[in-house]
Amino acid sequence: MQRKEDRDGLPLIDCDIHNAVPSLETLYPYLDDHWVDYGAFSKFRGPDASDYPGGSPIAARPDFKIKSEGLPGSRLEHVQNHVLDAWDTEVGILTCIYQASCVHNADLGVALATAVNTWQVEKWLEARGLPSLPLQLMVNSISRVKLVIFMSSRLARNLSFLL
């Protein structure tokens, strides 16, 4: 990527900013009590499928692997500093790497996808207060009705979503 001064003033759009859910506990405020209890008592830690295994040298940019700040892409401040501000990114599209669609329990998969979407809206979009950070919604393969309900409630607040 080129810094702004090397782009002749052209805006930079990063269409693949990967954010991550730090832990299943992060989603507890967005899950029904049933699923919180399930997570606590079953020791379910969340989906374990990963397209970006942590030990892989290509899983994240070297400057993004900051152990003291947790999982790469899990903190808005980190993404703000190392992606958006560092490259003067005008628009960035969030693509969460949480694999809710890999959960075999269909009800839990829907609950996790909905929780992730709500968490992203609250902690990433509304916290930043900018419409320039569109969000790719996480869709569980059987959650289409819940997705419509989720989107209609958020679209009334003029948030940006991509499918």
Q: CA–CA separation, 112 vs 25, rounded Å?
A: 11
- Domains: count for the chain: 1
Residue 61 domain-assigned?
no
Mean pLDDT to the nearest integer, 48-63: 68
Q: What is the pLDDT of residues 69-85, one digit of tens each?
A: 567 778 888 888 888 88
Q: CA–CA separation, 110 vs 7, rounded Å?
A: 42
Q: Is the pLDDT of residue 161 over 60?
A: no
pLDDT of residue 80: 84
In this structure, of 32-36, 56-60, 63-67, the range with the lowest mean pLDDT score is: 63-67
Token reading at 103: 């959960």
User: What confidence tier does 26 reach under pLDDT thresholds 50, 70, 90?
Assistant: very high
Residue 60 domain-assigned?
no
What residue numbers bound the domain in which 116 lies? 4-52+71-162
Residue 136 domain-assigned?
yes
Query: What residues contact 68, with CB distance under 8 A and at least 6 apart?
Result: none
Residue 66 domain-assigned?
no
Q: Is the pLDDT of residue 155 over 80?
A: no
Q: What is the pLDDT of residues 117-153, one digit of tens each?
A: 889 888 888 776 655 566 666 666 556 666 666 666 6
Residue 100 domain-assigned?
yes
Overall pTM > 0.85: no
pLDDT of residue 102: 82
Residue 57 domain-assigned?
no
Q: What is the pLDDT of residues 101-115, one digit of tens each?
A: 788 888 898 889 889
pLDDT of residue 163: 47
- Which CATH number goes with the domain that contains 157? 3.20.20.140
